[in-house]
């Protein structure tokens, strides 16, 4: 039986239609397979890393945008000052390619260089060490978030930043007299960075860098006012967490400015303290924070007390080259207080050049155990309130010798510790 032309063409049509359906199914299968291969765990990790870097850059671009949008305000919880975005080449030129002659110092974030911009402004350029990766990136974002949301004459001023590719750089106003630790722990020429002496500037006879009591008291009071602003007067409670001599910068008139906010924490208004992992510098750290991770404004107040003693004595808070009973400065100060010889702790050169005894006694007096708010400390220092309490015996470090790889090291344990909260 022969097929009619209609049956013949009908069969061909069904064959073609079936082929098209099979082809579509194959294409769909190949597409799905390709998507699965593209999003394998390895590729997924790479995509996440790229996304993370892009997200971080986007966040910082939102922070530094001159036209602030609501999203950035919600993200960073505050009203921010407008700061400049510098490209990497500009800062590279300003610092002579980050030349060693322009090196000012180094901290947890990275090295700091002196730079001169095209408009003649002298700046301090703080460069993130790229090998510090995530922790450095976190500190960078925290510092920017914190310092752009606050403004006070005793806090360092951020001028701008660089987020050019992997580069993370902060640009600050330049402090002519650098940092307080150079006057307490060692001496560098404030102009060209050459070493003059490792003797303390404050102790140097016939030195233009000797700081009299008026200047030292000015530094103490300025730091106290800066902390009062962070703890009590800012629109958000902020705990610095790393108050120490190297983070106190000094301008041409030796007015102090608190710097380095990489470890700062915004503090909830309804909480007495936070339980958090320790971060900071041993020797300046409050015992309840170092041991139990109890963080509050009192941690900064403790650190302030240690810095205050360093300024008055012109020595490090811990010095193992001294006799055992003098090595830890707060402990030594308390022993002298118990013997009614507290003025023996004062820098001898300062006594020779004259000091106001009542001011020194007032500065040393605030209770190391109770640690009153910074507003009360400022009021006490400025004679707005009178000293009415007798200092209580604080918890001190008692050093014990311990062996480590056949070397003797001084360990430390806290005894009789009570919470100041």
Q: Catalytic residue numbers?
A: 242
| φ, ψ of residue 275 in degrees (nearest 5) | -95, 115
CATH number of 211-392: 1.10.510.10
Q: How far apart are the first and last CA of the chain?
A: 105
**Parallel/antiparallel/unpaired status of strands 407-414 and 158-162:** unpaired
**Parallel/antiparallel/unpaired status of strands 103-106 and 111-116:** antiparallel
Radius of gyration of the chain (CA): 30
Secondary structure of residue 122 in the 3-state scheme: strand
Q: Do 49-174 and 211-392 come out as alike in CATH topology? A: no
- The residue assigned the tokens 């919470």 is 419
**Alpha-carbon 199 to chain mean position:** 27
**pLDDT tens string for the chain (421 positions)?**
555 555 555 667 777 777 787 888 888 888 877 777 655 555 544 554 444 455 455 545 555 444 333 333 333 334 445 678 899 999 999 999 999 999 988 766 788 999 999 999 999 999 887 665 445 677 788 888 888 888 899 999 989 888 888 888 999 999 999 999 988 876 444 333 433 333 444 443 334 567 888 899 999 999 999 999 999 999 889 999 999 999 999 999 999 999 988 888 888 877 777 888 888 888 898 888 888 888 999 999 999 999 999 999 999 999 999 999 899 998 898 888 888 888 888 988 887 777 767 778 878 775 555 788 999 999 988 887 776 566 666 655 445 444 444 433 334 434 444 434 3
| φ, ψ of residue 120 in degrees (nearest 5) | 95, -10
CATH superfamily to which 49-174 belongs: Phosphorylase Kinase; domain 1 (3.30.200.20)
Q: Where are the domains of the chain?
A: 49-174, 211-392
Find all residues with CB under 8 Å of 6, minimum gap 6, and list them.
none
């Amino acid at each position: 039986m022969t097929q009619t032309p209609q049956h013949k063409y009908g069969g061909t049509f069904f064959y073609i239609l079936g082929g098209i359906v099979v082809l579509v199914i194959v294409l769909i299968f190949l597409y799905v397979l390709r998507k699965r291969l593209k999003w394998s765990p390895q590729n997924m990790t790479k995509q996440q890393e790229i996304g993370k870097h892009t997200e971080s850059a986007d966040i910082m671009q939102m922070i530094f945008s001159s036209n602030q949008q609501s999203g950035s305000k919600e993200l960073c919880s505050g009203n921010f000052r407008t700061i400049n975005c510098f490209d990497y080449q500009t800062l590279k030129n300003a610092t002579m390619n980050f030349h060693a002659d322009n090196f000012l110092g180094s901290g947890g974030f990275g090295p700091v260089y002196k730079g001169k911009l095209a408009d003649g402004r002298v700046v301090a350029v703080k460069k993130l060490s790229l090998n510090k990766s995530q922790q450095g990136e976190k500190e960078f974002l925290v510092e920017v978030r914190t310092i752009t949301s606050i403004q006070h004459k005793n806090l360092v001023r951020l001028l701008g930043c660089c987020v050019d590719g992997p580069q993370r750089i902060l640009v600050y106003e330049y402090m002519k007299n650098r940092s307080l630790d150079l006057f307490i722990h060692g001496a560098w020429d404030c102009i060209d960075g050459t070493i003059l002496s490792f003797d303390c500037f404050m102790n140097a006879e016939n030195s233009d860098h000797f700081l009299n009591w008026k200047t030292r008291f000015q530094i103490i009071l300025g730091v106290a006012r800066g902390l009062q602003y962070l703890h009590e007067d800012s629109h958000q409670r902020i705990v610095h967490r790393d108050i120490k001599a190297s983070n106190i910068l000094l301008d041409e008139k030796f007015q102090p400015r608190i710097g380095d906010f990489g470890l700062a924490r915004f503090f909830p208004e309804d909480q007495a303290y936070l339980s958090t992992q320790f971060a900071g510098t041993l020797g300046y750290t409050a015992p309840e924070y170092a041991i139990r991770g109890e963080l509050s404004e009192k941690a900064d107040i403790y650190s302030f007390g240690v810095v205050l003693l360093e300024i008055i004595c012109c020595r490090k808070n811990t010095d193992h080259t001294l006799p055992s009973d003098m090595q830890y400065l707060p402990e030594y100060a308390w022993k002298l207080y118990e013997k009614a010889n507290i003025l023996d702790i004062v820098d001898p050169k300062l006594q020779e050049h004259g000091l106001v005894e009542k001011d020194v006694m007032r500065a040393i007096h605030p209770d190391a155990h109770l640690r009153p708010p910074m507003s009360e400390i400022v009021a006490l220092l400025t004679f707005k309130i009178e000293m009415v309490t007798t200092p209580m015996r604080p918890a001190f470090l008692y050093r014990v010798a311990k062996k480590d790889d056949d070397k003797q090291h001084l360990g430390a344990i806290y005894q009789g510790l009570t919470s100041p909260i």
